[in-house]
Amino acid sequence: MWEKCQSLQNDLVALRRRFHQIPELGEDLPETQALLCAELDKMGIPYKRNTLDSGVVALIEGGKSGKVVALRADMDGLPIAEATGLPFASRHEGRMHACGHDTHITMLLGAAKVLNENKADLKGTVKLIFQTAEETCTGSQIMLKEGVMENPHVDAVFGMHIGTIIDPSIAAGTVIVTPGCCMASYDHFVLRVTGKGCHGSTPEKGVDPIVVASNIVLALEEIVAREVPSTKAAVVTIGRIHGGIAYNAIPGEVEIEGTTRALEEDVRQYLGKRIGEIAAGIAKSYRAECAYEMIWGAPPVVNDEEMAKLAAGAAAKVLGESGVITSIPAPNMGGEDFAFYLRERPGAFMFLSSSNHEKHTDGPHHNPHFDVDEDVFWKGSAVFVSIVEDYLGK
């Protein structure tokens, strides 16, 4: 069945370019949803729109009863001004599909077309999940609130991410799927240091929040260096500091923002706890105050061993054994809200390389110049179809 995906390649490229032109942010994706639903209508696949966001869930019922397998694609873009110069570049100023979500929608629709046309041969049901807000880590949680894992009850779930996430040296068209943890947790913290503003010539009359913030930043670096075992991966990164309005004045407040990453939940929770404790302690020692907010994102992405093995075997049918990687030196420290689905059901999250130096598609994600090798689209669709064939049986 998966072999039929190759004939869709040109259609997939054209469809991806349409999605690429209309990037939208967060949970409200009206144009994206409209185009998606129009394509599902063309195929005659029934679907349901979410009530809480622009997510869509479609259903393909096989000719015989059996298990239910879910396939997921995310749909949101990023607040980045596109600089690719592509003829089909974003029409929405300041917004861009800089992480490949436009291709995820496209590849899942390609798989849907083939599966729907051959549904009489399927022993079970395929649930297609098109979610919003992966970038803000709320889309999968909204899907779960909407009951995506029930009616009918989902038995396994699979997802795929295109690009250069694992290693830009991996050839385009290669699938990477590993058992166990494959991506880190990702969380966002905000520290607001409050001191007492005064003129720069008389610092003794105030409480300098810039000095306090500087000491907090240095101290937070020591959590990973001195408190987390060296055998456990963890990251604490400060990405933004803001404070002050004049070169010769001490401000009243400084804001610090950063992110944490971990491969284990206990390490993740420990980082969150210690950031707050250290910041509060340092602020107090300088006669300042520090408000702490941890905006919890997604837990680590942990693949079920059996489902990862099944996905690897299904991908090998499409790409050959040399086209599938099942072991990498270490999990990726990026995050993905697909983790919430894997907390509910066994499944696997895969990566499809689109790295091609000659086509300039080996650059980083979340970048104004991000692009993908369009030649791999049919392979992504085919891997999804092959997984369904192997999981449900025929």
74 DSSP β-pair partners: 131
Q: Please answer whether residues 275 and 293 qualify as being in contact, where contact means their C-beta atoms are separated by less than 8 angstroms.
A: no
CA 74, CA 107: separation in Å to the nearest integer? 11
> Which residues sit in the known binding site for Mn(2+)?
99, 101, 135, 161, 366
Strand spans (E) along 225-343: 234-243, 249-250, 253-262, 289-298, 301-303, 324-325
Q: Please tell me the total number of residues recorded for the chain in this structure.
A: 394
Q: Encoding tokens for residue 275? A: 């950031």
Nearest-5° Cα angle at 262, 167 to 351 = 30
Alpha helices in the chain (DSSP H): 9-20, 30-43, 101-117, 139-145, 209-226, 265-285, 305-319, 339-344, 377-392
- For residue 122, the SS3 value is coil
Q: Please answer whether residues 243 and 197 qualify as being in contact, where contact means their C-beta atoms are separated by less than 8 angstroms.
A: no
Which residue is associated with the tokens 């690429």? 20
Q: Please answer whether residues 144 and 300 qualify as being in contact, where contact means their C-beta atoms are separated by less than 8 angstroms.
A: no
Q: Please answer whether residues 179 and 327 qualify as being in contact, where contact means their C-beta atoms are separated by less than 8 angstroms.
A: no
> Which residues sit in the known binding site?
99, 101, 135, 161, 366
